[in-house]
């Protein structure tokens, strides 16, 4: 591992443990050249699942693309980076647990919306408006209707 500060390839592992999401190994390292400490995360290399896009093209599953979409949907919402990261991890787990080699982009989008429904309803509507390509206010209403009918809203705290 190259030190991010001095670029030397000479370090030692101080501490090693599973990350919070359980998908990676967190290692605390110390560079033997400049004596600075840094953290690395290692993920086991898995068989890459291909996402089949609407036009039929195939692309590798990209957790960072999911994260960027969630971050955009959650802008100015009371959602922490930890919650977003946990949601990305849960979506990634679902994809790898449910599909073997390929998954349609539509199914990934539905998984994201399922997780957003539990996280934040406003973020869900934001994501759905882009994902489902809403054309007018009626499309928004059709997406919101099940949320309004599901359970009565409680007063904010």
Find the mean pLDDT for residues 106-124.
92
Q: Is residue 155 part of a domain?
A: no
- The answer to whether 70 and 86 have CB atoms below 8 angstroms apart is no
Assess whether 37 and 55 both reside in one domain.
no
pLDDT in tens, 116-127: 999 999 999 899
Assess whether 23 and 56 both reside in one domain.
no
Of 89, 116, 94, the closest CA to residue 19 belongs to 89
Q: Is residue 121 part of a domain?
A: yes
Q: Is residue 140 part of a domain?
A: yes
Assess whether 56 and 26 both reside in one domain.
no
Structure tokens that stand for 38 in this block: 């840094």
| Domains held by the chain: number | 2
pTM of the predicted protein model: 0.64
pLDDT at 157 over 50: no
Q: Is residue 30 part of a domain?
A: yes
φ/ψ of residue 12, rounded to 5: -135, 150
3-state DSSP: the chain helix, strand, coil percent, rounded to 5? 45, 20, 35
pLDDT in tens, 125-145: 899 888 777 777 777 778 778
Assess whether 20 and 76 both reside in one domain.
no
Q: Is residue 15 part of a domain?
A: yes
What is the domain range of residue 38?
A: 11-42
Which residue has 């086991």 as its token pair? 44
Q: Is residue 61 part of a domain?
A: yes
Q: Is residue 2 part of a domain?
A: no
- The answer to whether 127 and 108 have CB atoms below 8 angstroms apart is no
Q: Is residue 157 part of a domain?
A: no
3-class DSSP assignment, residue 136: coil
Assess whether 68 and 134 both reside in one domain.
yes
């Amino acid at each position: 591992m190259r030190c991010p500060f001095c670029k030397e390839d000479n370090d030692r592992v101080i501490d090693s443990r599973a990350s919070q999401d359980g998908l990676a190994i967190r290692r605390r390292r110390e560079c033997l050249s400049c004596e600075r400490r840094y953290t690395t995360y290692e993920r086991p290399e898995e068989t890459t699942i291909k996402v089949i896009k609407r036009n039929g093209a195939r692309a590798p599953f990209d957790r960072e693309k999911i994260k960027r979409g969630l971050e955009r949907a959650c802008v100015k919402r009371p959602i922490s980076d930890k919650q977003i990261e946990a949601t990305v991890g849960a979506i990634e787990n679902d994809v790898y647990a449910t599909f073997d080699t390929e998954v349609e982009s539509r199914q990934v989008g539905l998984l994201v919306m399922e997780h957003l429904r539990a996280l934040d309803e406003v973020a869900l509507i934001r994501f759905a408006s882009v994902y489902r390509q809403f054309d007018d206010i009626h499309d928004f209403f059709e997406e919101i209707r099940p949320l309004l009918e599901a359970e009565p809203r409680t007063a904010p705290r």
